[in-house]
Chains A and B, each alone.
Chain A
């Protein structure tokens, strides 16, 4: 394995289907034909079906688990409980605090207590009902404020505070001409990916297990599974199966450990597939947030200080609560210059459903808070909402709340101006007669224009790209070049998870550009190659893309070495050109096929971004982030103010992506992010009462349909970074970040109401 320093950015020339081109997805044909194998499509002739026994209680002590009756059923092959977990019965991304199968206590409704394996799914389902678990209910802690106060029962050793991030910078709050305060809430959003949690685990001859699963990070699964199964990591081999969307919801383990346990116990392949209801309790959600803000500004609306108090409900287990709280704290004031900040961001344990990663990762919640405040400030000062943002916008060289100077592009003002200058959609016909399908309520025919008012709102946002706080983050890629038939073929192998975002396309594009080899095969992602890190934090194109590029540089070096030998010339002065290596000095050249005749070239590279440091535990100051990305949104809504029904008419988004490696894929990320922002703004919420999810279905957890998706206007800026491959920055999260804030602002403009909570409901807009 070679570790190569980041190469200096050369000028990128156009290569067909290379970097910057609208290359096609290599998995596209299989996907449109229905041939693409998602994890829920995997099967094996001898397989057993797994099913999960889940706690009906929010918080309870497990007294007994009786499995005999279930085990005696014909067709049932295994019933496993906590005692059957051979290794450490704990997993977790930040803290190993979550049982594979609950041992003494259950901490949320739906927590796995036992798993069964049976010959068919219906038998497995019935066996689940025959596992008798006796519980002794314990007092439930479902209010995060009570968790914070310390009055509730401690749910974990060390109490119920997962993290308290304090950020302090600048002199204490000075006298401000204008002070605005507000309290805001964000509900619990769900990733609601379409492909349910699923996998196939095959027992291996060496006593290990081969797991085919959908995940965002193969190696972190492997590491946790090895510990739970008491196996060395090389005997827990993972291959990425087709992933039906992720959005953060596949960072934590779900079916993986259970299926491996069942496969190892029964000696048969074990398949697990969640149904939609089970999926809603089977993965973490976006943290609900309660936020208290105070913004002080001078008479012109220039910020003097911001005080923010943020409480995130992490639910029963830590998952990524520590890092989500980190982000919510770091970005609590948004992309604004603020001389004095006082931020307290806390995440707590409760007996609510566990919360963790979702696209935007803490930055979405606070964006709704700080942008609501900016609108309030604009109103208080008497200036335009865009103007107040422009007056305070950060730029390159500005200092963030954590004291870190922004080194890369920070075109906040430019992005805002661009969305502001885009043409507005046509108004509704004043005389009525609009197509009801395009009015609030849609075909349900609730208005023909009565009560409909239009509003326009803005939002701008910032988020870190890649992992932060001193984390040693890297990506690994292996690139091999050889000859197949008469053709030169490059293969690229990483463990990076394609979750729909188009990483497989990008990997092939980079190889084409770097090696000028048109024929590129992207091998299935698995743990046979080194760690790629997670497909989250908008980092994967940067990190795995960077690794692929480095591996290509190494491959090219080897090819040049071989050419130097073949041509008996020094390496300097040789260059790759269209399948040959050419000497500018002598005019000689050699065909790559000749250089590869004896042996392929095969190089593995590890790519690291620059190092960061943890935040100071007292002041929250430090250079914790690799990079920042920015997006601005303008939303136009029509609200039926009498019924409180909203139709988002249009969302415009301007985003700096550094370099669009695949422009249509960037647009796709922007559209998709906007759609999820629309959902969070006006309809999507996991409703939890007394710790139980009330709407675990697509009938009642509503995500936007074609009738709800606004039309979009996109503006993609490409301001190159100096420290990333091709100057790119991550694109996955920013298009979501300030979409809800902009929509909420537009609803305020249409209704004159405060809108302190999202998702906004018809109830809230009419009561």
Chain B
């Protein structure tokens, strides 16, 4: 089947998409946009978090066909050509990046959190990011990044 969607502001189409294929596979393999990561493909780790229309979701749990006609924003769509989004800058400043595999998904999840809750408390941050696993950082500097970006 053919799937047409908007990704990071650009209209895209993919052909020969299989019925059970995920939006994550479509983005990474059919469209060659590897910014969203493939860590578990079962919705447990959040590494593939993208906006589908206005909702931050796991791209691995969206069937590619379900994204037809919809708007997707990945981590690559958050920063303009002129530099980094404040959330991205905060991750850098706080040292919240180690191996970086969870980072794209976390940046989107934090972007979404701060859009909804501009000044989240610690427990709110923890609850909002519970769907994004990080194996390197122990999350502490990610929390620092959230607090810094909220300022």
- A contacts B directly (C-beta below 8 A): yes
Taking Cβ atoms with an 8 Å cutoff, the residues of A that contact B are 22, 24-25, 27-29, 31-38, 40-41, 43, 121-122, 191-196, 242-247, 273, 275-276, 435, 437-438, 443, 499-502, 664-665, 667-668, 670-676, 697-699, 703, 705-707, 709, 711-712
Closest to A677 in B: B138
Contacting pair B132 A706 (CB below 8 A): yes
In the complex, A674→B89 CA distance in Å? 26
- Is B117 part of the contact surface with A, judged by Cβ < 8 Å? no
Contacting pair B100 A27 (CB below 8 A): yes
Contacting pair B95 A667 (CB below 8 A): yes
How many interface residues does B have (CB within 8 Å)? 54
| Contact partner, A40, options B32, B38, B95, B131, Cβ 8 Å | B38
Give every chain A residue within 8 A of B35 (Cβ-Cβ): 33-35
Contacting pair B127 A194 (CB below 8 A): no
Closest to B44 in A: A698
In the complex, A437→B100 CA distance in Å? 27
Q: Which of B47-76 contact A (CB under 8 A)?
A: 47, 74-76
In the complex, A194→B37 CA distance in Å? 9
Contacting pair B136 A36 (CB below 8 A): no
- Given A194-B45, A706-B125, A706-B129, CB of A122 within 8 Å of CB of B36: no
- Given A671-B137, A672-B98, A707-B127, CB of A195 within 8 Å of CB of B84: no
- Given A672-B98, A675-B139, CB of A33 within 8 Å of CB of B132: no
| Contact partner, A31, options B103, B140, B142, Cβ 8 Å | B103
Supplied contacts A28-B100, A698-B44, 18 more A-B pairs, CB within 8 Å = A25-B92, A32-B89, A194-B39, A244-B39, A443-B127, A500-B100, A500-B136, A502-B98, A670-B138, A671-B138, A671-B140, A672-B137, A675-B139, A697-B42, A697-B44, A703-B135, A706-B125, A706-B130
Contacting pair A38 B126 (CB below 8 A): no
In the complex, A699→B123 CA distance in Å? 23
Give every chain A residue within 8 A of B39 (Cβ-Cβ): 194-196, 244, 276
Contacting pair B98 A501 (CB below 8 A): yes
Contacting pair B127 A672 (CB below 8 A): no
Contacting pair B139 A29 (CB below 8 A): no
- Is B79 part of the contact surface with A, judged by Cβ < 8 Å? yes
Give every chain B residue within 8 A of A245 (Cβ-Cβ): 98-99, 101, 135-136
Give every chain B residue within 8 A of A670 (Cβ-Cβ): 138
Give every chain B residue within 8 A of A33 (Cβ-Cβ): 35, 75-76, 79, 84, 88
Contacting pair A712 B140 (CB below 8 A): yes
In the complex, A242→B38 CA distance in Å? 13
Contacting pair A37 B40 (CB below 8 A): no
Give every chain A residue within 8 A of B143 (Cβ-Cβ): 706
- Given A276-B41, A707-B130, CB of A194 within 8 Å of CB of B98: no
| Contact partner, A32, options B44, B99, B103, Cβ 8 Å | B103
Closest to A245 in B: B99
Give every chain B residue within 8 A of A675 (Cβ-Cβ): 135, 137-139
Q: Which of A243, A664, A671 has the most CB of B within 10 A?
A: A671
Closest to A697 in B: B42
Contacting pair A122 B141 (CB below 8 A): no
| Contact partner, A709, options B42, B136, B140, Cβ 8 Å | B140
- Given A29-B92, A122-B18, A706-B132, CB of A500 within 8 Å of CB of B140: no
Closest to B121 in A: A435
- Is B26 part of the contact surface with A, judged by Cβ < 8 Å? no
In the complex, A34→B101 CA distance in Å? 9
In the complex, A706→B129 CA distance in Å? 6
Give every chain A residue within 8 A of B42 (Cβ-Cβ): 276, 697-699
In the complex, A667→B140 CA distance in Å? 9
22 A-B pairs whose Cβ atoms sit less than 8 Å apart in the complex = A32-B92, A38-B101, A40-B34, A192-B135, A193-B99, A194-B102, A195-B39, A243-B99, A244-B99, A244-B101, A245-B101, A245-B135, A247-B135, A276-B41, A443-B127, A664-B95, A664-B141, A672-B136, A672-B138, A707-B130, A709-B126, A712-B138
Say how far A586's CB is from chain B's closest CB, in angstroms: 45
- Is B107 part of the contact surface with A, judged by Cβ < 8 Å? yes
Closest to B34 in A: A41
| Contact partner, B100, options A43, A192, A242, A698, Cβ 8 Å | A242
Closest to A192 in B: B135
Give every chain A residue within 8 A of B32 (Cβ-Cβ): 43
Contacting pair A193 B40 (CB below 8 A): no
Contacting pair A705 B130 (CB below 8 A): yes
Contacting pair A674 B36 (CB below 8 A): no
In the complex, A698→B34 CA distance in Å? 21
- Given A28-B92, A243-B99, A244-B101, CB of A34 within 8 Å of CB of B36: yes
| Contact partner, B99, options A24, A499, A703, Cβ 8 Å | A499
In the complex, A705→B74 CA distance in Å? 22
| Contact partner, A674, options B41, B47, B138, Cβ 8 Å | B138
In the complex, A636→B133 CA distance in Å? 23
Contacting pair B100 A31 (CB below 8 A): yes
Give every chain A residue within 8 A of B140 (Cβ-Cβ): 667, 671, 709, 711-712
Closest to A276 in B: B40
- Given A244-B99, A245-B101, CB of A34 within 8 Å of CB of B75: yes
Give every chain A residue within 8 A of B28 (Cβ-Cβ): 41
Closest to B142 in A: A706
| Contact partner, A438, options B98, B123, B129, Cβ 8 Å | B123
Contacting pair B141 A671 (CB below 8 A): yes
Say how far B32's CB is from chain A's closest CB, in angstroms: 7
Contacting pair B139 A671 (CB below 8 A): yes
- Is B3 part of the contact surface with A, judged by Cβ < 8 Å? no
Closest 5 CB pairs of A and B: A34-B35, A500-B99, A671-B138, A31-B100, A244-B101
Give every chain A residue within 8 A of B103 (Cβ-Cβ): 31-32, 34
In the complex, A429→B138 CA distance in Å? 26
Closest to B35 in A: A34
Q: Which of B29, B37, B42 has the most CB of A within 10 A?
A: B37
Give every chain A residue within 8 A of B29 (Cβ-Cβ): 43, 121
Give every chain B residue within 8 A of A706 (Cβ-Cβ): 125-127, 129-130, 132, 139, 142-143
Say how far A633's CB is from chain B's closest CB, in angstroms: 13
Say how far A651's CB is from chain B's closest CB, in angstroms: 9
Say how far B88's CB is from chain A's closest CB, in angstroms: 4
Say how far A455's CB is from chain B's closest CB, in angstroms: 21
In the complex, A22→B143 CA distance in Å? 18
Contacting pair A194 B36 (CB below 8 A): no
Q: Which of B18, B36, B40, B130 has the most CB of A within 10 A?
A: B40
Give every chain A residue within 8 A of B75 (Cβ-Cβ): 32-34
Say how far B7's CB is from chain A's closest CB, in angstroms: 12
Closest to A709 in B: B139
Say how far B3's CB is from chain A's closest CB, in angstroms: 16
